[in-house]
Amino acid sequence: MYIKEIEINYFKSFYGHHKIPFNGKFIVVTGPNGSGKSNILDAIRWVIGEQRSKLLRVEKSEEVIFGGNKNLAPAKYAEVSLHLLINSGFAFDIYIITRRIERDGDSAYFLNDKNIRLKDLQIFLSSCGVGKHNLTFIGQGELESLILDNDRLKEYLEDIAGISGYQEKVKETQLKLDIIEAKGKEIEEKRRMLWENLEELRKEAKLAEYYTELTKELEKVRESLNYYQWQKLYKNIEEINENLRIFKDEFSGIEIELENMRKEEEEINSKIKDLNRELENIKSILVENQIKREKLLQRISDFDDRKKKLEKEILESNKELEINKEELKNVEQNLIEEEEENYLELGRKLRDIETNLKEKEIIKARYEEKLKNFHEVSNVSEEFAKWFIQRLKQKREKLEEYKNYISKELREKESLIRAKERYLDEKVFELQRERRLLRDLEDIQRDSLPKGVREILALKDNNVLGIVLDILQIDKDYLTPIFNILGNTLFDIIVTDEYTAERLIRYLRDNNLGWATFRPLSFYKDFKERIIEIKDGIRALNVVNYDERFKELVYSLLGNVLIFKDFETALSKRELLKEGWRLVTLKGEVFLGSGTISGGVRNNIQTTLNININMHEREENIKELSQAISILESDIKTLRVEKTILENKREKLDNLLKKIDSKLEFYGNVGLFEEYRRILEEFSYLRNEWESIKDKYEKLRENFIYNRNRREFLGTLVKDLQNKIEEMKKEKDFIDKEYVNMTRNLEDINKEIDDGLLKEENLRSEINSLTERLVHLKEVKEKLINRRQQIREEIIRSETNLQQIVKRKEEIEKDFENKIPNLKIDLPESKLRAREKEILKTLENLGPINFLAKEKLTTEEEKYRELTEQWEDVYESISSLRSIIKSTLREAETRFLNAYSVLKDLANNNWKMFFPHGDLQILLEKEQDPLNSNIYIKLTSNKKNYKSLLMLSGGEKSITALSLLLAGLEIAPVNFCFWDEIDSALDNHNAHVLGKKIKEMSKSIQFILISHNPTLMEYAETLYGVTIDERGSTQVLTWRLEGEVVNN
């Protein structure tokens, strides 16, 4: 049997439908951390019935359902289907196990689309050789516990020995034995009690016979007493009248007591009603807090997603940065190599030659022109010409020197302009970044507002003027005291009048959009300012700016607030509290006239405060950058004007030099022909040299320009990437801070919920106590009503008896005249009375008489006989179960020792694969009692002798556990293994050894491994790549050895 494929729907990080075919016997799943690789293992564990949340890495069962993110909505259910190929002997049959869970907690199992119980699924998997096997699933961090946890190691050895359930079987048999022994004791006790009952019944039968005899005698005595009765009837009449008086008095007392109880019932019912109202209020608060918690959890989840996305983007940007740096380095190397080839020198030389060529060509043309007009200077003497030429050359040298100075100044101006332009570009980029961060902070602040406030602001109602936070411009140094003194008032909505507030409240309530507090400006009229002179502090009104139309509102909020430097200063001014002032320190401690001092961290306010501090910093940065940009633009403009002036000066100097050169040429015609021939020779030489250098220069020039442009582009790109990474790191730091604040908020809300639940429980306890008291009162009242009814009946009965006695007396008196009653016993009345009392006393002392005792005695004797037979059967079962327990323990010990013996050798052989000159020994602490003995592992390697497993490195621990794990598979093979990162601590050599071993064992066992090790992947038949797409859902890619890629 092996796994053919798995279908995953909305399970954990898998959004939508995913089908993963497990082709082959050796499969490796790889991918980045957090991409969802281990969720495949969790899906297989979950679908075959795993109930332990810890192994599934969740707290509640419904958390396996895709929870959603800012891109994808939460799913309503999760479903996983596992396709198994099972060899039936003639062919492979496909069985599909499916498990589905709904968001409301309903869960169901299916086998080939047939609804089954979890127990049925476990029976099916057990019949296929898939159960709670220690070798089948190994999650992250579970491998080392195999050797470090002695109980886990012992459980593992019992598992491969096939006795993993022997303790449960012994316990189950012992439980049955205890139950049967208890039943035997119960039967024995019944027999004893029944025997005692039989003895009692025999006594009752004899007593019933005696009672019958006494009753007959009593009848005779009473019949004899009738003779004397008529004489004493009048005494009975008086006694009855007295009893009637007593009954009537008791009846009146009961009526009064019932009235008092009725009043107490009304008071208790009223108190219960009040408590129920209070309970409903607490429930409402709990629901509101739970809604807040859900929103906060969603916000935390959004921040966590954004943080992961930023980390991923930073990682990708760093990779791109390294690639660009490497390419930039190569380009700079190319430029260096080209400079080594004298490219720059060659270019300068070529330009010099070109310049010389042009100058020589011009000079040559001038000489040719002058030779035509040579007759114009034929009258100038050679001595005057030399003197005049010397003066012109001196003047030219001075002008050339000044021109060089102007050119140097011009180059410096151009360099300065380029530097300032680059700095201007950097500042413009920083300004854009700061503005983008400011917009992001504004979005975060808007999202952090209460839901009701966000909904109202989204309406963009003309009568809504904003929230209190928007109208106040607070000095940065005083943000903390102002935020702490105002608290949630910062989120109050300002409206024009109370009718707008009423309309918007109705809108929130009708659409169930949350809660908001409104401040109509019409409520704040003619507010009088309070005057105070204070030296050690400052008024809150002096550190905020606001629009004049909100003056009365701001005065009502902050008009009585004073800010002090520290706690001690504020404490020394506490007398001001009696005058109605509120005090706050720069750190946010708040002193109120009610006698309270508040301080610490208010997480929701702290979050908004941090956002506003960041916004203030961004705004200040934007202001500074804008000023810097303005100054730079002005400087660049000034420098360009100065550059233009210098260029004009240089142009004038060029014109003067040209005129001087013209005069020099005009007066230098002496020896003109010799100079002309020299110029022709130089021109020809330069022309040849220029043509030879030009071709080589053009080729070098193309490469040099390309590399130089590429270097500038890459330099800019590297700088942009570095700026981008820095921005993302700043955003990540901000998210981390916000994450901490929201976590604190969540803890506060959870505490409020816990307090509410405790208060709810106390109220329910009090209600239950009152209800019990009410029930008790009703019971007592019912008893009193019954007693009242009994008294009423007694009164009626007594009155009836009185009438009967009177009538009887009259009848006896009437009958006495005619006939006297017969005496059955001829004794005086006193003796008859004494005998009657004696008989009655005897009858009274006899107690209750069981007239059916004789008949019941026969029935109970038959029951006693049946119980005796049952006891004999139970005793026989007890002996049998004790024998089973003994044989089970004996068989388990034998199989344990056999497996232990084989495991020692196989584990040692596996250890030698990794350490050829080492040894691995498995030792029992108590060989005479192996099932209850601790197991120890003794190791030696090539160069080490380990005294404790705790001294092992991570890789050595993994190799030790793998040696045991692979040996266990050889002793007790399973159908498939799904192991998560068991090779994370192995080096390449040991990964090769492990891969080779698993490759051999995969002929009979299907291995599915989660790994990051490329060495181990070389031995796999199929590779699966797991990643997270841009929406936040896990995706799986499959690589076959042939290189085919299938996107699932």
Alpha-carbon span 525 to 519, nearest angstrom: 12
pLDDT for 673 equals 47
Q: Is pLDDT larger for residue 383 or for residue 646?
A: 646
Find out whether 998 and 26 touch, Cβ atoms under 8 Å: yes
Does position 670 have pLDDT exceeding 50, yes or no?
A: no
Please write the tens of the pLDDT for every residue from 18-39. 999 888 888 899 988 888 888 8
Alpha-carbon span 317 to 328, nearest angstrom: 16
Counting residues of the chain whose pLDDT is more than 70, the rounded percentage is 83
Q: Is pLDDT larger for residue 1022 or for residue 402?
A: 1022
Alpha-carbon span 1006 to 1021, nearest angstrom: 11
User: Region 954-962: what's the mean pLDDT?
Assistant: 83
Beta bridge partners of residue 939, listed in sequence order: 920
Instruction: State the virtual CA torsion across 531, 533, 536, 540 in degrees, nearest 10.
Output: 20
Does position 299 have pLDDT exceeding 80, yes or no?
A: no
pLDDT for 942 equals 67
pLDDT for 175 equals 81
Alpha-carbon span 456 to 452, nearest angstrom: 6
Does position 374 have pLDDT exceeding 50, yes or no?
A: no
Strand order in the sheet with 590-591: 537-539, 561-564, 582-585, 590-591, 597-598
Handedness of CA 168, 174, 177, 182 (dihedral sign): negative
Residue closest to 57 by CA, chosen among 39, 69, 40, 44: 39
Find out whether 1010 and 7 touch, Cβ atoms under 8 Å: no
Residue closest to 754 by CA, chosen among 237, 201, 290, 326: 290
Among 282-296, 511-525, 824-838, the range with the most confident prediction by mean pLDDT is 511-525
User: Region 271-298: what's the mean pLDDT?
Assistant: 80
Q: Output the DSSP codes for 490-532.
A: GGPEEESSHHHHHHHHHHHHHHT-----EEEGGG--SPPPP--
pLDDT for 52 equals 81
pLDDT for 135 equals 62
Residue 769, φ and ψ in degrees, nearest 5: -65, -45
Alpha-carbon span 479 to 67, nearest angstrom: 37
**Where do the domains of the chain lie, and which CATH numbers do they carry?**
1-133+981-997+1012-1047 (3.40.50.300), 209-325+741-850 (1.10.287), 449-600 (1.20.1060.20)
747, containing H or E segment: helix 672-818
Find out whether 888 and 169 touch, Cβ atoms under 8 Å: yes
Alpha-carbon span 189 to 1033, nearest angstrom: 67
pLDDT for 654 equals 83
pLDDT for 321 equals 76
Q: Is pLDDT larger for residue 1048 or for residue 417?
A: 417
Q: Is pLDDT larger for residue 876 or for residue 682?
A: 876
Tokens of 414: 């151009």
User: Region 57-66: what's the mean pLDDT?
Assistant: 86
Tokens of 978: 């799904």
- Point out the least confidently predicted range of 535-539, 659-663, 680-684: 680-684
- Point out the least confidently predicted range of 144-158, 274-288, 678-692, 759-773: 678-692
Q: Is pLDDT larger for residue 617 or for residue 581?
A: 581
Residue closest to 664 by CA, chosen among 969, 399, 865, 419: 399
Instruction: State the virtual CA torsion across 673, 678, 683, 686 in degrees, nearest 10.
Output: 180
Find out whether 561 and 474 touch, Cβ atoms under 8 Å: no
Find out whether 903 and 967 touch, Cβ atoms under 8 Å: yes
Does position 753 have pLDDT exceeding 90, yes or no?
A: no
Does position 769 have pLDDT exceeding 60, yes or no?
A: yes
Alpha-carbon span 316 to 574, nearest angstrom: 58
Alpha-carbon span 119 to 59, nearest angstrom: 23
pLDDT for 375 equals 42
Counting residues of the chain whose pLDDT is more than 90, the rounded percentage is 6
Among 333-347, 660-674, 746-760, the range with the most confident prediction by mean pLDDT is 746-760
Helix-helix angle 672-818:233-340, to 10 degrees:
170
SS3 breakdown of the chain: % helix, strand, coil, rounded to 5? Answer: 70, 10, 20
Q: Is pLDDT larger for residue 648 or for residue 392?
A: 648
> What residue has token string 């051999």?
1000
Among 256-260, 836-840, 939-943, 1009-1013, the range with the most confident prediction by mean pLDDT is 1009-1013
Alpha-carbon span 638 to 429, nearest angstrom: 23
Alpha-carbon span 1008 to 3, nearest angstrom: 10
Q: Which amino acid is at 943?
A: K
pLDDT for 1047 equals 40
Does position 818 have pLDDT exceeding 60, yes or no?
A: no
Alpha-carbon span 26 to 913, nearest angstrom: 20
- Point out the least confidently predicted range of 216-230, 843-857, 885-899, 1020-1034: 216-230
Q: Output the DSSP codes for 467-496.
A: EHHHH-EE-GGGHHHHHHHHGGGGGPEEES
Alpha-carbon span 590 to 596, nearest angstrom: 8
Distances (CA, A) of 892 to 879, 880, 886: 20, 19, 10
Q: Is pLDDT larger for residue 496 or for residue 325?
A: 496
pLDDT band at 1046 (very low <50, low <70, confident <90, very high): very low
pLDDT for 97 equals 93
Does position 103 have pLDDT exceeding 80, yes or no?
A: yes
Does position 683 have pLDDT exceeding 70, yes or no?
A: no
Distances (CA, A) of 1008 to 44, 585, 999: 11, 63, 12
pLDDT for 814 equals 65
Q: Output the DSSP codes for 555-607.
A: HHHHTTEEEESSHHHHHHTGGGGGGT-EEEETT--EE-TTS-EE-S--HHHHH
Enter the DSSP assignment of 27. E
pLDDT for 797 equals 78
pLDDT band at 520 (very low <50, low <70, confident <90, very high): very high
Please write the tens of the pLDDT for every residue from 173-218. 778 778 877 888 888 888 788 787 877 777 777 888 788 888 877 7
Q: Kindly report the average pLDDT of the chain as a whole number.
A: 79
Helix and strand tally (H, E) in the chain? 22, 25
Does position 414 have pLDDT exceeding 60, yes or no?
A: yes
Residue closest to 464 by CA, chosen among 455, 476, 472, 473: 455
Enter the DSSP assignment of 63. G
pLDDT for 702 equals 62
Distances (CA, A) of 712 to 335, 703, 704: 12, 14, 12
pLDDT band at 582 (very low <50, low <70, confident <90, very high): very high
pTM above 0.75, yes or no: no
User: Region 931-947: what's the mean pLDDT?
Assistant: 74
- Point out the least confidently predicted range of 741-755, 761-775, 819-833, 980-994: 819-833
Does position 223 have pLDDT exceeding 70, yes or no?
A: no
Pairing state of beta strands 473-474 and 544-545? Answer: antiparallel
- Point out the least confidently predicted range of 49-58, 667-676, 684-693, 1027-1036: 667-676
Where do runs of H (alpha helix) occur along 91-165? 118-127, 145-148, 150-160
Find out whether 390 and 637 touch, Cβ atoms under 8 Å: no
